[in-house]
Chain A
Amino acid sequence: MRTERWTVWLAWSLLAVGALAFLAPVGWMVSTSFKEESKVATARPVWIPDPPVLDNYRSLGEKIEEAPFGRWLLNSALVSTSVVVLVLLICALTAYPLARMRFPGRDALFFLILATMMLPSQATLIPNFLTVQALGWFDTYAALIIPGLAGPFGVFLLRQFMMTIPRELEEAAIVDGCGPWRTWAQLILPLSRPALATLAVLTFLGAWNDFMWPLVVTNSLEMRTVPIGIMIFQGRYTTQYGLLMASALVASAPVILAFLLLQRFVIRGIVLTGLKG
């Protein structure tokens, strides 16, 4: 096809303008967070802080009484990593027979799990809150970690991937005397590494950013996760935007880093399944 050079040029210029516009809010967040509180609100936008200061980040660490930011980060890190590990394990277990075994009701079961992907999550919010309360998990890590493991996304993603593993490999393993557990652990899991990596990144982003569920099942300041924490922060320091932007940036640093380092897994996962974690 004849490539019209001017179209490529036009596309590039428009994309560059668009990309700058998309990055501008994040840039403004970074810029504001390094400003002295007195220089945050100015008559004209000042993009480069003069002088750049760490005051806001320092105060984040000092407001322990009303906003234990370190504890929130710890909670989020603990919850997110636990969710990632457990989701990978549980979903990889379930996906294997759904993809590779024959048993009665297999397709019906998979369809049932798939159907719940369409379910708006707030349909289960109140009853799940009551279940968590009845189990005595309210305001605990169990409440933050365990109910979220029921999400069907990982089962779907891994099942689809495992279907593509050549059958001959599995047959060879069975001929060599491997039972289902050894086949799973020594053949299927290693071969599923790309899908597991994708699932791990998407699950981490989802767990770190989760908002409504942690909001509902925790209530002590010590058990809040970062997104809820910065909302509380926002309620307390409504217009201290330097401080608020610093808190938002600290809250986002782990996901931005994870995304930039592992972006190919994220992009592949979105394209493969069309869904966000």
Chain B
Amino acid sequence: MGSGAEGSAGWADRGAWRDLAPAVPFLIPYLVLFTVFLVWPLAHGFYLSLHDWHLLEPRKTFVGLANYAGILRDDLFLQALGNTALYVALAVPLGNLVSLLIAIGLNARVRGETLFKLAFYLPTVLSVAVVAILWRWLYSTEFGLINHYLAPLGRLVAGDAWRPIPWLANPSWAMPSIVFASVWWGAGGGMLIYLAGLRAVPESFYEAAVVDGAGPWRRFWSITWPLLKPTTLFNVVVGLIGAFQVFGQVLIMTNGGPNNHTLTLVLYMYRTGFSLFKMGYGCAVAYAIFLVVLVVTVAQFKLLPYRDEMG
């Protein structure tokens, strides 16, 4: 990354500034948008986070870091943080596992590979609203498909005591249910990236291992898994950033319920800003989320020190 077709132009180059002239008109349209809708809001948001401001009132009161201090004492925020952490801790490993298993299957050069890819990737092109509405129906207690097919198993285990599970209304089941739907929605992307990673492993490595008498299990753990580490790191980092932002699923499927058990950070920020109109506090919450994501992402890079081949 960053190594251009030729070396980068030094600031000290004579005439370097003259080289800027032809580039500027190409850059202007995007840079205007980039400044107004990406750079400025970051500064503006931080400025607002230092204020107490209700959207419908003209007065902004400077409060310093009081909003941030308030976040640390805000039970609802802390609950949302815990819920989101649970979601991330379930969805990211499970999603990666499912993606990897499918990719390993596809890597066996099976017949109909393209059709399989299409089937596994199809959910990913759906809108989160569609996914949420569809899974609400699948999770329906009385007539949902999932309880339908679970019933025989449930009766086998619990006998007559079996009752259909109210997936989204039960405090313990609600978040895992949202995780399950989300994994179904997103596994296709990770699958494609894992498959590309698997195809990049030189065949000769496996041939040598076979000569040495290594079985499939051994080959996976000594060759495939170590060589896939950069791919895994990539999928985990992208997955984490996405998972921390979980919003549409919870808004539509449970609206944070039951009893705030699926209230996530972004849903909390959305309510703070757009239901309560507490814009200053909402911005502070947004920055807190940003900080959490940043810390977790950096920690990932430190734990798995493979930076190569990253975008």
Contacts and interface: CB of A to CB of B under 8 A. Distances in A.
A117 B142 CA distance: 43
Interface in B80-110: 101-102, 104-106, 108-110
Mostly, the B contact residues are helix
B287 interface: yes
A97 B22 contact: yes
Interface string A148-191: 01101001100000010001000000000000100010000000
15 contacts: A1-B210, A14-B105, A25-B135, A28-B134, A97-B23, A103-B19, A106-B9, A113-B34, A123-B42, A124-B45, A146-B37, A167-B5, A231-B251, A252-B125, A267-B192
Nearest to A277: B125
A39 to B, nearest CB: 11
B9 A103 contact: yes
A193 B3 CA distance: 23
B266 A122 contact: yes
B204 to A, nearest CB: 9
B127 A107 contact: no
A59 interface: no
B227 interface: no
B34 A234 contact: no
Contacts, number: 303
Nearest to B245: A120
A104 interface: yes
Interface string A208-240: 110110001000000000111011001000000
Interface residues of A, number: 104
Given A19-B120, A122-B245, 9 more contacts: A28-B137, A93-B27, A102-B19, A103-B20, A103-B23, A131-B37, A149-B33, A212-B270, A260-B118
B40 A211 contact: no
Nearest to A127: B41
Given A8-B108, A12-B110, A126-B283, A205 B125 contact: yes
A219 B297 CA distance: 35
Contacts of A42: 143
Interface string B5-29: 1101111010011011011001101
Q: Give 7 closest A-B pairs by Cβ, nearest first.
A: A127-B41, A97-B23, A150-B37, A209-B127, A94-B30, A227-B129, A19-B119
A14 B102 CA distance: 9
A26 interface: yes
A28 B8 contact: no
B238 A275 contact: yes
A89 to B, nearest CB: 8
A245 B142 contact: no
A101 to B, nearest CB: 5
B102 A18 contact: yes
Contacts of B266: 122, 212
